[in-house]
Amino acid sequence: MDDRAWLALATELAALAPPSRTAFSVGAVIVGPDGVELSRGYSREDDPHDHAEEVALRRAPADLRDATIYTSLEPCAKRASRPRTCTDLILATGITKVVYAWREPPRFVDHPGTERLEAAGLTVVQIPDLAEAAKKPNAHLL
């Protein structure tokens, strides 16, 4: 599968997230450099405060060198519910590429992660034509 197909899967996973009035519903998939899925997750999957990237990272193998994370929403760079943001968690791994559909709107926080990820040397790709699919499970917030 290519970036677009993996990201489409992440947007589908977002629809599995229980709706919340205080957080976006997001899906995430981590893929190894060989194109094999390593893990996946969605918002609030195991805990009401879980972010999708956090779930996928928790389930991933230890070695994420040169892996890619696909997430329906730009990884958070500021967070109220936990001490580490998704951007921090991603930067602590060997992930080298982040692909997302929808840039985080300033509904809850206004600290997008793209700039921090790029400043750290990661490749960040937005596929904005999948943003509508990422927004769908969040329609109640928009």
pLDDT in tens, 77-96: 887 778 899 999 999 999 99
| Under 8 Å between Cβ of 22 and 108 | yes
| Domain CATH code at residue 53 | 3.40.140.10
93 lies in some domain:
yes
Over residues 99-117, the mean pLDDT reads 82
Instruction: Count Cβ neighbours within 10 Å for each residue of 39-73 and write b for 16 or more, e otherwise.
Output: bbbbbbbeeeebbbbbbbbeebeeebeebbbbbbb
Three-state SS string over 79-120 comes to CCCCCCCHHHHHHCCCCCEEEEEECCCCCCCCCECHHHHHHC
8-state DSSP, 124: E
Q: Is 87 among the domain residues?
A: yes
104 is catalytic: no
- Active-site position among 53, 54, 74, 104: 53
In a domain, 141, yes or no: no
* Structural domain for 38, as ranges: 3-136
Number of independent structural domains in the chain: 1
What pTM does this model have?
Answer: 0.94
